[in-house]
Amino acid sequence: MFLPTTKKEMEGLGWEALDIILVTGDAYIDSPFVGVAVVGKVLLDAGYRVGVIGQPDTGSGDDIGRLGAPRLFWGVTGGCIDSMVANRTATGRRRKSDDYTPGGVNDRRPDRAAIAYANLIRRYSKKDTRPIVLGGIEASLRRIAHYDAWTDRVRRSVLFDAKADYLLYGMCERSVVELAGRLKEGKDPHGIRGLCHISKELPEGCVELPSFEDCEKDKDAFTRAFRTFYDNNDPPTARPLAQKHDARYLIQNPPALYLSGRELDRVYGLGYERDAHPYHLKDGEVKALETIRFSISTHRGCYGECGFCAIAVHEGRRVRSRSKESIIAEAKEMTRHPLFKGRIHDVGGPSANMYGSGCERMEEKGPCPKRSCISPKVCPLLKSGHAEQLELLKELRSVKGVKKAVVASGVRHDLVLADKKDGERYLKELVSHHVSGQMKIAPEHSEANVLEMMGKPGCDRNALIKFKELFYRFTKEAGLKQFLSYYLMAAHPGCTKSDMKKLKSFALKELGVLPEQVQVFTPTPSTYSTLIYWTERDPSTGKPCFVEKSERGREEQKAILAGTGGGKVKKGPHAPERHWSKGTHYRGKGR
C-alpha cells in the first residue's frame, strides 16, 4: 500500500488523524531505495499512522496543511539527495532536470529544502506544537558545522538553521521508531542513539569539538572537529559529541545500532509499490524509477572509505548484508509486478562485491579506527563475500520470470583481485551472466598522488590493467560483446592539469578509451575530500595541497580528459552517467 497523501486517502483507511507526517523534497516513491518510503513503512509496521507530503508548495499552506497536523511529530527530509547537490552545480548554476520530480523539470524542490520545509511547517501550522524532526542525507551530512561549497563558507549545524527540535542521522529506522515511542508515551527522547538536539548546557561525558565560531575562522580547528566527528561514527566505539554554536550546544548522541541481517530482511520485506504515488504520477513520469523500480539492495555500508564519498559518515563503514532468502523473495515478488519484463536492473549496494564480506573484529567492535580495510592493501583478515554473492546470483538467475539479473553497482576491482580463491570465478560469472553491455568500475584516477588524496592508494594502474585484461578475456570466452567502463574524476584536491594529462595518456594507451563524460569533483558536505578542498591541506600530514578551485580551471581539467583526442579511441559505452538515483548515498554525479 501507499501511505496516504490526502485526507480522502486517510478516510479510505478509516484514519481520522495521523501520528506522523513525513515531508520530502522528492515525489513520494514507494520503494525500498527511498528513505522516506522505508521510514514510513517501518513506522507503519510499528503501529503508527503515517502520511507523506512530497514536494509541497512553499508559497502557500495548501500542501503542507492538507493532512492536518500530526499527533506525534513532523519528519522532514530534503529527499534522496542533498537539495543543493540536486538543484545546483558546485558553481551555483541551477540544474534543469530532476530525476525525483514528476515530468523531470527541476522546479519543485527548494534550495536547502530541509530548512525551507521546517519554516513552511512553522509558518502554516502556528497552533501546532508538534516537534519537527529532520532526517535524510541532507540533514545527516550537515548535522555539525560543515563546509558548504555553494556559499564557500562553514555553516552551522542545519538543526540551528532549520530551528527544528531533533535531527536523526544515518540510517534511522531504529531511532525513528524509538522516538515515536517515547513521544507517544510522553517520555524524554533526548538520549536516543542516532539523535542530535540542542542544549544550553554541555552534558557530562561529551567530547567537545571546536566550536562553530572557531571552525568558521580557523581551518585547523575545522580539521580537528571533522576528524573527531569522523572517528565517532561507528556504533560500538562512538562517543557523544558536543559543538558549541554561540551560547548553545549541538549534541550528537552516538549512532544508532545497526540493524541485524534479520532486521534488514524485515525492512526490505515490508511490501513496496515500486512506483510513484498516483498523486505525483498525474504530473508526469519520475525518471528515478527507471533505475530503482526493479533493483535490489543487497547490503548497506562500505569500508572502502573513498575520501569523496559520504557513505562512511551516513551509512557506516561496516557492511551489513541481507540474507539470500530475503533477496530471492524480493526477486520473486518483483516478477509479479505488472510492469516487470524479466530484468532486474541492479543487484548491489555501495560496492556490489562487498556483499557478505567483513571480519570478526568489524562485527564486534566496528572497523579498525586507525587502519583501512582495503588500502593500500586488502587486510588479510577481511573475509571476502564473493562465494556468497556467487551463490546468490546463481539462485537469482533461476528464479522463474527473471531473464537477467544485472550487477550495475560499482565493483571494487581491487577486492576481486585480492580474493585469490573466488575473485576470478566471481568476475567470470559476472561477465558471463550479469553484465548488460558494460560493466562499471571506479578507478577515478591513474596517478598515485591523486589516488592517495582520494583515499584509494591501493587502486593503482597495475591492478586496473590486470582487471581489464581479465574482463576482456572472460568476455571473449563467453562469446559476448561488452565493455568495461570507468568512472574518472577531474579536479579532485591534489589533482593538477599535468595529472589529468597523465590520466588521459593512461586512458588512451592502457585502457583504450577516452571517456566522454568525466565527473568534476563536487565538495559535498562532510567528506574528507571536502575537508581538503576547504583547507587546502593534507589532513594526515598538515602539508599544503594544491586545489583547483576556479570554475575555469576545473572545467579545463575535465576538458583535458573528455575533449576530443587522437588515435583509435572507443567512445560512448565507456562513459555512463553515474548512478545516483538509488537512494541515500552520493556515488553519483554530485559527489
Provide the binding-site residues for ligand SF4, judged by CB under 6 A.
359, 361-362, 367-368, 371, 373, 379, 381-382
**What are 523's three cell numbers?**
565538495
Of 384 and 581, nearer to ligand SF4 (C-beta) is: 384
- Rounded to a whole number of angstroms, the minimum distance from the CB of residue 238 to ligand SF4 is 15
Cα–Cα distances in angstroms (integers) from residue 520 to residues 498, 556, 579, 589, in the given order: 16, 10, 15, 8
Angle between helices 261-268 and 324-335 (to 10 degrees): 10
**Minimum Å distance from CB 492 to ligand SF4?**
24
Closest CB to ligand SF4 among 79 and 458?
458
Q: How far apart (Å, rounded) are the C-alpha atoms in residues 188 and 184?
A: 10
Q: How far is the CB of 304 from ligand SF4 (least distance, A)?
A: 11
Q: Which is nearer to ligand SF4, 242 or 354 (CB)?
A: 354
Q: How far is residue 303's CA from residue 319's CA, in Å, rounded to a whole number?
A: 7
Decide: 114 and 58 in contact? Cβ < 8 Å: no
Burial of 11 (0-12, 13-18, 19+ CB in 10 A): exposed
Pick the closer one to ligand SF4 by CB: 366 or 515.
Answer: 366
Residue 166: its H or E element = strand 166-168
Nearer to ligand SF4, 152 or 363 (CB): 363
Q: How far is the CB of 70 from ligand SF4 (least distance, A)?
A: 41
- The residue (of 94 and 377) whose beta carbon lies closer to ligand SF4 is 377
Q: Tell me the closest approach of the beta carbon of residue 316 to ligand SF4, in angstroms.
A: 12
Buried b (16+ CB within 10 A) or exposed e, 421-431: ebbbebbbbbb
Q: Give whichever of 225 and 382 is closer to ligand SF4, judged by the CB atom.
A: 382
For β-strands 29-30 and 275-276, DSSP reports them as: antiparallel
At its nearest, how many Å lie between ligand SF4 and the CB of residue 351?
14
The distance of closest approach from Cβ of residue 4 to ligand SF4 in the complex, given in angstroms and rounded to an integer, is: 44
Q: Which is nearer to ligand SF4, 63 or 234 (CB)?
A: 234
Shortest approach of ligand SF4 to residue 419 CB, angstroms? 13
CB of 458 to ligand SF4, least distance (A): 12
Rounded (5°) CA angle 152-154-492: 55
Residue closer to ligand SF4 (CB basis): 329 or 368: 368
Phi, psi at 208, each rounded to 5°: -90, 125
Closest by alpha carbon to 399, among 307, 327, 294?
327
| CA 252 – CA 378 distance, rounded (Å) | 32
Task: Report the half-sphere exposure of 571 (CA within 13 A, side-chain side).
Answer: 10
- Residue 96 · residue 86 · CB < 8 Å: no
> What is the closest distance, in whole angstroms, from the C-beta atom of residue 194 to ligand SF4 in the complex?
22
Under 8 Å between Cβ of 134 and 82: no
114/354 with CB nearer ligand SF4 = 354
Answer for the pair 350, 315: CB distance below 8 angstroms, yes or no.
yes
Question: Closest distance between ligand SF4 and the C-beta of residue 380, in Å?
Answer: 7
Residue nearer to ligand SF4 on the CB measure, 207 or 368:
368
What sign has the CA pseudo-torsion 334, 410, 519, 232?
positive
* Bridge partners for 133 per DSSP: 75, 166
Phi, psi at 496, each rounded to 5° = -110, 175
Decide if 24 contacts 54 (C-beta within 8 A): yes
Examine residue 254 and say whether the peptide bond preceding it is cis (omega within 30 degrees of 0).
no
